[in-house]
């Protein structure tokens, strides 16, 4: 907000100080006036506040999670019994393609982006991100991309080439509907969100840390998010190229994947997996970060081997660039390539193993508190390890030729993605909910939520190992009784088990949604520091004030908040409490900065992002429409570049004489 | 509000400007974009099922001249940046305009080249070579065009003294982008034009 | 750097470009490919170091940019190698 925040005592965001002069929105040169609403829907639509945007990412991603989940249930219903009739072959193809696309690009990635947006600035003691308007733009791009991808359902059928969309299979011959076109253009738009978000968060982490917060004092979550942003920074342009080539082929007749004209069918596969393997770390590392926050808090111990966790995270980020072709072992790469990539892939299990060891040793000898957040974190360690082990079995190329394109692969990536990424996100929900909303999610319901999800997930994906090794191919829309086999390993039985499991899993997730609803209605406010937490984001009110910190804390320790609460007793060498969270917060409030300039809301991010889907639809239906979209984009860039990111001084109260100004940001 | 680059740099943890860090990150990312396009071209440059081959249509003297023009636009760009640092508004506007003109000459040359190639039988859909050639050089051309728009827009805004934030920093950022587009062409010129299949 | 300095750099770049173009007219024999590649790299580095100031600026900028550059060179050369590109 472009208003002065007068830090007022109390937990709730202070209202405008009484008697403040009316705000006069600046008129930017030749364009719209600045929005000034600080409440109501406008305050969300035009916001540049990292916390609001974080919640918007989260809520939108949650919606897509439900969509993707329903698609998954339809797939499992189809495969529950022989000769399933729920979906026809064509719809089945669309269903698994859109399920995976939705889960990867529209749920896990944006949900992690939401957490990153909300908590990275808080964890490093900043008042916002480096480029708040670009941050807002990113969110709207993600939303626009998600809508474009899903619009295809209503306009002739969704994409149907599988989430990796192998060309030439995804060319017009085999995918005649416009689904793939919506998919490429939608991902392109969503990719802008990832790229701009990456630049934004990296600059934020490098440049906006509180005094004293050196890189090696940053919380692990912030660290791993930073690694993820570097992966995105360098991986997104690769898929951008691939998507452009495919769009040019499908919409403008280019020949890139036309094998008859001499094209190489592996070109797409390389481009996709150069992006794709770093992408799997984009999906898992945020959850690794969350777990690394949750485990120490609920073990009442600092994280074991902090530098190892950080460096192994960076190592994963680095080695992850050299293994992509393990997705192509069966494609005829040639023996040298296969050998090289096989060995590199085995190597990447090492830094991953380091993390598992560190987490285990964090819990070792700790006073474990099995809150729901903790349960999900422990669940992640166990389930992810199973997935990692099956991953190592694929890294051995000869055995992978047996496994590839079977349900065994489906089992692997669901253990790492569901058991890993999603369990981590759920751990984050339960851990950070009181910070974001000032209320605790119900722990009892949370426990049921957890157990249904664990049981459901193992019932669903465990049997897929067997199905795969028995030879059930991936992406097969029906199986027949005649070929189901006999005995303990007959696929009829295990398919049924997996389908029942998916319903159990769905019920577990439903419990979570119910929990949200119950919590929203409850009047009980969460204590300020419900978990006895360790890092800076807890050194704010719940939810945090618009400017996060009344005064920017000076950081002396990793786990700064913990060290303000506890000191080591020189005699007994035990930690004893020296201050409560309330006292620490009151102290920050007493030293409040007198003059805080926050970045101002803006129309332009929304207008700019709105131009993109218009261009996309124009490319598919009529070029003049694309030109209109282009004009919208130009207009928005014009307005944006003339609008100072922090409103003019006339938007503020008169200058104060004593306080220092903080927080001016670009954008 | 008047925010000088130094004031800004003061406030950050590394002492470096946010915008400049962001710009370099973006350029690092662009390396992978152009890398992908160049690799696609390299893979497909000799694959001509139909239509002319590269050797038959490339006009090296012509492209050499336009490459030279683009290279020299980097010099004028750098002069604009240095004028901006000296707070010399007239010099800044002058050199930026010259840079834009040189850039426009380059793009004009590219339009001419594309037309000539098309008339000689190389369409976008003619062969793998055609598709990948036009995609790569087209992407580069779009980057140059975006740069020209930024240059001219900046001059227009500057003339009315409407530049928000630090002027010299804005010019420097446009400069970084412009030079990057130039170095991409340095690579394209060698790999695409000078080295035969 | 001074204006003079920039002009000197530009002249060197122009000279190298002239040399590059001359490979089209004069037969360099086995030196053809390596010399072209080396000249390309020199021009690239000169623009980046002097015109983009990377040589004089904070090392962090160099790290960020060259990470992207070397990553790009690394992955794409590897990918081309799996296509047997360099054996043809
Ligand atoms: C211990 C580390 C890991 C190893 C050694 C490993 C290895 C592999 C290999 C070799 C494949 C290709 C199998 C095939 O298609 O034939 C694969 C597939 C896959 N992996 Fe992993 N992986 C590991 C961790 C992860 C993680 C952390 C994730 C994501 C969170 C992940 C997600 C996937 C996905 C999504 C696929 C399937 C891609 C597809 O075909 O659609 N993996 N993994
Ligand atoms: Cu992989």
Q: For residue B163, what are its two tokens?
A: 């530049």
CA dist., res. A51 & res. A546, Å (int): 8
Q: For residue A161, what are its two tokens?
A: 């080439």
| Cβ–Cβ below 8 Å for C71 and A321 | yes
Contact A653, A16 (CB under 8 A): no
In tens, the pLDDT along A591-616 reads 998 888 888 889 999 999 999 999 99
DSSP string, A160-228: -STTTT-TTTTSTTT--SSHHHHHHHHHHHHHHHHHHHHHHHHHHHHH-PPTT--GGGS-HHHHHHHHH
Sign of the dihedral through C-alpha A600, A603, A606, A612 = negative
Distance A327 CA to ligand 1 centre (A): 8
Looking at residue A43, what is its pLDDT?
A: 87
HSE, CB side, 13 Å, CA atoms: give it for residue A265.
Answer: 11
User: Does the CB of B171 have a partner CB in chain C at under 8 Å?
Assistant: no
Q: Which residues of C touch B (CB under 8 A)?
A: 1, 3, 6-7, 9-10, 13-14, 17, 20-21, 23-24, 33, 36-37, 39-40, 43-44, 47-48, 51-52, 58, 60-61, 64-69, 71-73, 75-76, 79-80, 83, 85
| Cβ–Cβ below 8 Å for C10 and B74 | yes
User: Does the CB of B176 have a partner CB in chain C at under 8 Å?
Assistant: yes
Question: For residue B61, which residues of chain C lie inside 8 Å, CB to CB?
Answer: 21
Residue from the list B34, B61, B190 with its beta carbon closest to the beta carbon of C40: B190
How many CB atoms within 10 Å of residue B192?
21
Chain CA centroid to CA A280, Å: 11
In tens, the pLDDT along B60-69 reads 999 999 999 9
For chain A, give every domain's residue range: 48-479+489-521, 604-653
For chain B, give every domain's residue range: 30-194
Chain B: closest CA distance from residue C82 (Å): 11
Distance A413 CA to ligand 1 centre (A): 6
Q: For residue A89, what are its two tokens?
A: 């072959």
Residue from the list C64, C72, C83 with its beta carbon closest to the beta carbon of B24: C64
CA dist., res. A434 & res. A372, Å (int): 13
| Cβ–Cβ below 8 Å for A322 and C60 | no
Q: For residue C62, what are its two tokens?
A: 């160099």
Question: For residue B176, which residues of chain C lie inside 8 Å, CB to CB?
Answer: 52
User: Which residues have their alpha-adjacent CB atom under 5 A from ion ligand 2?
Assistant: A 277
Looking at residue C11, what is its pLDDT?
A: 97
Residue from the list C24, C47, C80 with its beta carbon closest to the beta carbon of B179: C47
Chain C: closest CA distance from residue B70 (Å): 11
Q: Count of CB contacts below 8 A, A vs C? A: 27
Contact A355, A346 (CB under 8 A): no
Chains that touch C (3 or more CB pairs under 8 A): A, B
Selection from A182, A160, A164 nearest residue A477 by Cα: A160
Selection from C71, C54, C51 nearest residue C62 by Cα: C54
Residue with tokens 């793009």: B107
Contact A102, A71 (CB under 8 A): yes
Nearest CA to ligand 1 atom 3: A391
Distance A279 CA to ligand 1 centre (A): 10
DSSP state of A473: B
What is the pairing mode between strands A595-596 and A661-662? parallel
Chain CA centroid to CA A336, Å: 36
Contact A549, A125 (CB under 8 A): yes
Give yes or no for residue B118 having a pLDDT over 70: yes
Q: Count of CB contacts below 8 A, B vs C? A: 115
In tens, the pLDDT along B82-107 reads 999 999 999 999 999 999 999 999 99
How many CB atoms within 10 Å of residue B51?
17
Sign of the dihedral through C-alpha B118, B124, B129, B133 = positive
Question: Is residue A327 in contact with ligand 1, taking CB distance under 6 Å?
Answer: yes
**Count of H helices and E strands in chain A?**
20, 4
User: Does the CB of B11 have a partner CB in chain A at under 8 Å?
Assistant: yes
For domain B30-194, give the CATH superfamily. Answer: Cytochrome c oxidase, subunit III, four-helix bundle (1.20.120.80)
- Alpha helices by DSSP H, A528-655: 560-565, 581-590, 604-621, 623-642
Q: What residue ranges of chain A have pLDDT lower than 50?
A: 1-24, 29-30, 651-667
DSSP state of A331: G
Ligand 1 atom nearest residue A345's Cα: 5
| Cβ–Cβ below 8 Å for A638 and B135 | no
Residue from the list C68, C72, C82 with its beta carbon closest to the beta carbon of A325: C82
Looking at residue B4, what is its pLDDT?
A: 33
Question: Is residue A164 in contact with ligand 1, taking CB distance under 6 Å?
Answer: yes
Q: Which residues pair with A577 in a beta bridge?
A: A566
User: Does the CB of C71 have a partner CB in chain A at under 8 Å?
Assistant: yes
3-state helix, strand, coil in chain A (%, to 5): 65, 0, 35
Task: Note the ligand closest to the C-alpha atom of A413.
Answer: 1
Question: Is residue A189 in contact with ligand 1, taking CB distance under 6 Å?
Answer: no
Nearest CA to ligand 1 atom 19: A413
| Cβ–Cβ below 8 Å for B36 and A203 | no
Phi, psi of A162 (to 5 degrees): 85, 155
DSSP state of A102: I
Q: For residue C66, what are its two tokens?
A: 């060259």
Report angle CA A581, A586, A591 to the nearest 5 degrees. Answer: 130
> Chain B residue with minimal CA distance to A664?
B8
Looking at residue A643, what is its pLDDT?
A: 82
Chain CA centroid to CA A533, Å: 23
CA dist., res. B65 & res. B70, Å (int): 9
The CATH architecture that domain A48-479+489-521 belongs to is Up-down Bundle (1.20)
Cβ contacts of A267 within 8 Å, gap of 6 or more:
A167, A245, A256, A257, B40, B43
Contact B73, B178 (CB under 8 A): yes
> Chain B residue with minimal CA distance to C19?
B64
Mean residue pLDDT across chain B: 92
Q: For residue B91, what are its two tokens?
A: 């010099």
In tens, the pLDDT along A212-236 reads 999 999 999 999 999 999 999 999 9
CA dist., res. A156 & res. A147, Å (int): 15
> Chain A residue with minimal CA distance to C66?
A234
Q: Which of A97, A391, A393, A401 to mutate to test the pocket of ligand 1 (most atoms within 8 A of CB)?
A: A391
Please tell me the total number of residues recorded for chain A in this structure: 667
User: Does the CB of B13 have a partner CB in chain C at under 8 Å?
Assistant: no
Sign of the dihedral through C-alpha B120, B124, B126, B130 = positive
Chains that touch A (3 or more CB pairs under 8 A): B, C
| Cβ–Cβ below 8 Å for B39 and C79 | yes
Distance A403 CA to ligand 2 centre (A): 14
> Chain C residue with minimal CA distance to A233?
C68
Ligand 1 atom nearest residue A162's Cα: 41
CA dist., res. B151 & res. B95, Å (int): 10
Claim: this prediction has a pTM higher than 0.90: yes
Distance A302 CA to ligand 1 centre (A): 31
Q: Which residues of A touch C (CB under 8 A)?
A: 206, 233-234, 238, 264, 266, 270, 274, 321-322, 324-325, 333-334, 337
- With bands split at pLDDT 50, 70 and 90, how would you rate the model's confidence at B10? very low
Question: For residue C76, which residues of chain B lie inside 8 Å, CB to CB?
Answer: 35-36, 38-39
Contact A464, A411 (CB under 8 A): yes
Cβ contacts of A633 within 8 Å, gap of 6 or more:
A608, A611, A612, A615
User: Does the CB of B29 have a partner CB in chain A at under 8 Å?
Assistant: yes
- A568 SS3 class: strand
């Amino acid at each position: 907000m472009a208003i002065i925040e007068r830090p007022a005592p109390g937990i709730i965001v202070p209202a405008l100080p009484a008697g403040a002069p009316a705000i006069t929105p600046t008129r930017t040169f030749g364009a719209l006036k600045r929005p000034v609403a600080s409440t109501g829907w406008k305050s969300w639509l035009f916001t540049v506040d990292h916390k609001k945007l974080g919640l918007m990412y989260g809520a939108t991603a949650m919606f897509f999670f439900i969509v993707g989940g329903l698609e998954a249930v339809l797939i499992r219903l189809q495969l529950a019994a022989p000769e399933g009739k729920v979906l026809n072959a064509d719809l089945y193809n669309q269903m698994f393609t859109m399920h995976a696309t939705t889960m990867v690009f529209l749920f896990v990635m944006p949900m992690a982006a939401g957490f990153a947006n909300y908590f990275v600035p808080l964890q490093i003691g900043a008042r916002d991100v480096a480029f708040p308007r670009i941050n807002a733009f990113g969110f709207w791009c993600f939303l626009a991309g998600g809508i474009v991808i899903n619009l295809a359902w209503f306009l002739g059928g969704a994409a149907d080439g599988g989430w990796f969309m192998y060309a030439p299979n995804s060319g017009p011959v085999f995918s005649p509907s416009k689904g793939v076109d919506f998919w490429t253009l939608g991902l392109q738009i969503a990719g802008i969100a990832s790229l701009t978000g990456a630049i934004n968060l990296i600059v934020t982490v490098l440049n906006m840390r509180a005094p004293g917060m050196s890189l090696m004092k940053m919380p692990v979550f912030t660290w791993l998010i930073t690694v993820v942003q570097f992966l995105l920074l360098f991986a997104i342009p690769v898929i951008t190229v691939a998507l452009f080539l495919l769009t040019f082929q499908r919409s403008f007749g280019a020949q890139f994947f036309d094998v008859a004209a001499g094209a190489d069918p592996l070109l797409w596969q390389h481009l996709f997996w150069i992006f794709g393997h770093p992408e799997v770390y984009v999906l898992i590392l945020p959850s690794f970060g969350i777990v690394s926050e949750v485990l120490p808090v609920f073990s009442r111990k600092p994280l074991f081997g902090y530098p190892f966790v950080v460096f192994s995270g960076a190592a994963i980020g680095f080695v992850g660039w050299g293994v992509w072709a393990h997705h192509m072992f069966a494609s005829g790469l040639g023996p040298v390539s296969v050998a090289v990539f096989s060995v590199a892939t085995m190597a990447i299990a090492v830094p991953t193993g380091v993390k598992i060891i560190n987490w285990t040793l964090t819990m070792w000898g700790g006073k474990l508190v099995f809150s729901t957040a903790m349960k999900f974190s422990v669940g992640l360690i166990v389930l992810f390890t199973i997935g990692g082990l099956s991953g190592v079995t694929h890294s051995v190329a000869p055995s992978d030729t047996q496994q590839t394109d079977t349900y065994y692969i489906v089992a692997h990536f669901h253990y790492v993605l569901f058991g890993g990424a999603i369990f981590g996100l759920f751990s984050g929900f339960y851990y950070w909910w009181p910070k974001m909303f000032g209320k605790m999610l119900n722990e009892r319901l949370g426990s049921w939520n957890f157990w249904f999800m664990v049981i459901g997930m193992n019932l669903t994906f465990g049997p897929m190992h067997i199905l795969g090794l028995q030879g059930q191919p991936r992406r097969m829309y029906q199986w027949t009784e005649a070929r189901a086999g006999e005995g303990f390993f007959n696929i009829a039985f295990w398919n049924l088990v997996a389908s029942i499991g998916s319903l159990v899993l769905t019920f577990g997730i439903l419990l979570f949604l119910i929990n949200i609803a119950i919590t929203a209605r409850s009047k009980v406010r969460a204590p300020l520091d419900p978990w006895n937490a360790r890092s800076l984001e807890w050194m704010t009110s719940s939810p945090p004030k618009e400017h996060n910190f009344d005064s920017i804390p000076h950081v002396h320790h990793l786990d700064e908040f913990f060290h303000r609460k506890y000191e080591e007793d020189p005699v007994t060498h035990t930690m004893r409490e020296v201050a409560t969270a309330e006292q620490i917060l009151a102290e920050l409030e007493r030293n409040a900065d007198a003059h805080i300039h926050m970045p101002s809301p803006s129309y332009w991010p929304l207008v700019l992002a709105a131009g993109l889907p218009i261009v996309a639809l124009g490319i598919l239906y009529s070029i003049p429409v694309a030109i209109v979209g282009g004009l919208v984009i130009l207009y928005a860039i014009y307005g944006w570049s003339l609008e100072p990111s922090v409103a003019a001084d006339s938007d503020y109260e008169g200058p104060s004489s004593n306080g220092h100004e903080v927080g001016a940001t670009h954008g | 509000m008047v925010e000088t680059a130094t004031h800004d740099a003061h406030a950050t943890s590394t002492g470096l400007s946010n915008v400049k860090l962001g710009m370099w990150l973006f350029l690092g990312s662009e390396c992978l974009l152009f890398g992908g396009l160049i690799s696609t071209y390299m893979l497909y440059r000799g694959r001509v099922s139909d239509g002319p081959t590269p050797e038959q249509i490339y006009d090296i003297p012509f492209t050499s001249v336009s490459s030279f023009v683009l290279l020299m636009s980097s010099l004028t760009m750098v002069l604009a940046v240095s004028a901006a640092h000296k707070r010399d508004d007239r010099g800044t506007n002058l050199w930026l305009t010259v840079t834009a003109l040189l850039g426009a000459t380059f793009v004009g040359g590219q339009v001419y080249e594309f037309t000539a190639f098309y008339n000689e039988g190389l369409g976008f859909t003619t062969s793998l070579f055609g598709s990948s050639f036009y995609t790569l050089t087209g992407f580069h051309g779009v980057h140059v065009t975006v740069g020209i728009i930024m240059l001219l827009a900046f001059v227009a805004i500057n003339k009315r003294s409407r530049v928000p934030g630090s002027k010299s920093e804005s010019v420097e950022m446009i400069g970084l982008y412009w030079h990057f587009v130039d170095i991409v062409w340095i690579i394209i010129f060698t790999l695409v034009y000078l080295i035969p299949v | 750097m001074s204006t003079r300095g920039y002009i000197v750099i530009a002249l060197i770049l122009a000279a190298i470009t002239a040399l590059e173009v001359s490979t089209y007219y004069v037969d360099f024999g086995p030196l053809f490919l390596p010399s072209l590649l080396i000249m390309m790299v020199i021009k690239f580095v000169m623009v980046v170091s002097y015109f983009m100031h990377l040589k004089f600026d904070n090392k962090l900028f160099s790290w960020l940019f060259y990470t992207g550059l070397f990553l790009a060179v690394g992955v794409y050369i590897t990918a081309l190698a799996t296509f047997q590109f360099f054996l043809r």
